[in-house]
Amino acid sequence: MTPPFVHFHLPCRLAWGAGVGAILATVLTISLVTGTEPASTRSIADGVFSAAQINRGQKAYENLCARCHGDELGGGEDSPALVDDDFLNNWIGKSFGELVEYTREEMPSDGPGKVTRKQSTDITAYVFSKNDYPAGPGELEPTLDVLNQILITPKK
């Protein structure tokens, strides 16, 4: 005799499958609509920028930033260091995108508005590499959608 709870009646299985599908679709829709990411946020400690980006960033940094922030990013007369805890603490908890946009909109402080988002992304990658954050295999795409998803976290 078959126990009553085991039944392989096809319409029931279809109904069950449709039910699960509907629930998954609802969860997906809610997360898309509210913008909550299901644990997919990346951190700058995960190797999100490439070695090529660091190299390009270093060149741009030397041209545009070093005269104030120093060759080794240690800061200058009126310009803060970009390699110490004070710097990191200003940005931990914010996104990579926020720092890229700050640099693009505010730096160089005596004549901002010339740094492109791609350059700012490269320079920011360089700055984090000088703070001992690792490079990874992939190039970080310089779009706000991507950059805003990357969280600035303490070093591992």
Please report, as ranges, the residues that interact with ligand HEC according to CB under 6 A.
64-65, 67-69, 78-80, 82, 87, 90, 103, 107-110, 115, 123
Q: Which two tokens stand for residue 51?
A: 């070695």
Measured from the CB of residue 79, what is the shortest distance to ligand HEC in angstroms?
A: 4
Residue 156 beta carbon to ligand HEC: minimum distance, rounded to whole angstroms: 21
**Cα dihedral 123→125→131→132 (10° resolution):** -140
51/68 with CB nearer ligand HEC: 68
Least CB distance to ligand HEC at residue 38 (A): 31
Residues 155 and 83: their CA atoms lie apart, in Å, by 12
Would you state the torsion angle of the CA atoms of residues 111, 112, 115, 120, taken in this order, to the nearest 10 degrees? 130
Task: Tell me how far, at minimum, the Cβ of 95 lies from ligand HEC, in Å.
Answer: 14
Cα–Cα dist 48/30, whole Å: 27
Nearer to ligand HEC, 34 or 109 (CB): 109
Our CB check for ligand HEC shows the closer of 50 and 79 to be 79
Q: Which is nearer to ligand HEC, 54 or 107 (CB)?
A: 107
Q: Is the dihedral of CA 60, 65, 66, 69 positive or negative?
A: negative
What is the C-alpha separation between 104 and 144, in angstroms, rounded?
12
